[in-house]
Amino acid sequence: TNAYKGVDLQRHLYLLQTAKKKKFLIDIFYVSSDSLHQYDLPFQYNGQVISTSFPYQSYTKNQETLGAENGYQYLWKEAEATVFKTIAQFTFLNNNTYYTLSTLADDSMRIFFTRAGANDPSFNLRREPSYVLRTKDAAQTFVNIIEIHGNYDPINEFSVGAYSTVRSIKLLRDDAECSIVEIALNDQKIIVSQAKKDFSKSSDHRYTVDNQVYSWKGPYSITTQSNK
């Protein structure tokens, strides 16, 4: 897309249900430019924050806006964190179902919890929360996994399957030709291979990463393998 001058945006989303009925949304968002930029990727959500895999600083006594213009002036910055070379996980509960957003932070990344409603004296904005990922680089590949899992029983007050099954996310290869992502779950691995230039259904792709060959036909491939 040419939404931003001098910046190439390419996003691929996959809705996946495994043989064991586990449901995922796999989001691979590639951003590239010749110059340094600040890239912010927001996720709007509804529900109750349950947990994060990282510590964060909450601003409960004094809140500022996320920025001064371009819409940032309407977002309260409620909390923030900095993560580095890890998988950042955020779990929330909505309509008695758990959702976990797992993010690959392959370098330094800032995370913000925000809420709409700043600079809105007439209360025209809905007070909705969002979760914002921020990096500063010329090129960045955001890899995010949204997992739908488990449920909460409000009558008996207990949960089933409240924890995410995503254990790690690896970007095995990432260049102008393709991205190859490995997602490790409790019991299996999901390999997503995505071409970035040649999207023909008849094209063959073949790449070697650490003596392991990854090949597929067409613009993308999704395969699974056992962790055992």
What does the block give as tokens for 61?
A: 């006594």
What is the dihedral sign for C-alpha 221, 195, 25, 86? positive
Q: Is residue 200 part of a domain?
A: no
Mean pLDDT value across the chain: 95
More confident residue, 59 or 187: 59
How far is C-alpha 177 from the geometric centre of its chain's CA atoms?
21
On the question of pLDDT at 107 being above 90, the answer is no
The residue written with tokens 């909705």 in the block is: 128
- What's the pLDDT at 181? 98
- What's the pLDDT at 1? 64
Residues 6+ apart with CB under 8 A from 11: 27, 28, 29, 30
174-197 b/e (C-beta count within 10 Å ≥ 16 → b)? beeebbbbbbbbeebbbbbbbbbe
**Spatial separation of the C-alpha atoms in residues 146 and 15, rounded to whole Å:** 10
Q: For the domain that residue 133 is a member of, what is the CATH number?
A: 2.70.98.70
Q: Is residue 32 part of a domain?
A: yes
Q: Give me the mean pLDDT over the 165-194 stretch.
A: 95
H helix runs in the chain, sequence order? none
Task: Please say whether the beta carbons of 166 and 185 come within 8 A.
Answer: yes
Amino acid at 132: V
- What's the pLDDT at 84? 95
Q: Is residue 228 part of a domain?
A: no
Q: Is residue 44 part of a domain?
A: yes
What's the whole-model pTM score?
0.94
Give how many domains the chain has, as a whole number.
1
108-131 b/e (C-beta count within 10 Å ≥ 16 → b)? ebbbbbbbbebeeeeeeeeeebbb
Q: Is residue 78 part of a domain?
A: yes
Question: What count of Cα atoms within 13 Å lies in the side-chain half-sphere of residue 195?
Answer: 17
pLDDT tens column, 50-66: 999 999 999 999 999 99
Q: Is residue 97 part of a domain?
A: yes
Q: Is residue 206 part of a domain?
A: no
Its domain, for residue 112, covers 7-164
Task: Please say whether the beta carbons of 66 and 132 come within 8 A.
Answer: yes
**Spatial separation of the C-alpha atoms in residues 131 and 68, rounded to whole Å:** 18
Instruction: Place 228 in a pLDDT band, splitting at 50, 70 and 90.
Output: low
Kind of pairing between the strands at 129-153 and 220-226: unpaired
Q: Is residue 124 part of a domain?
A: yes
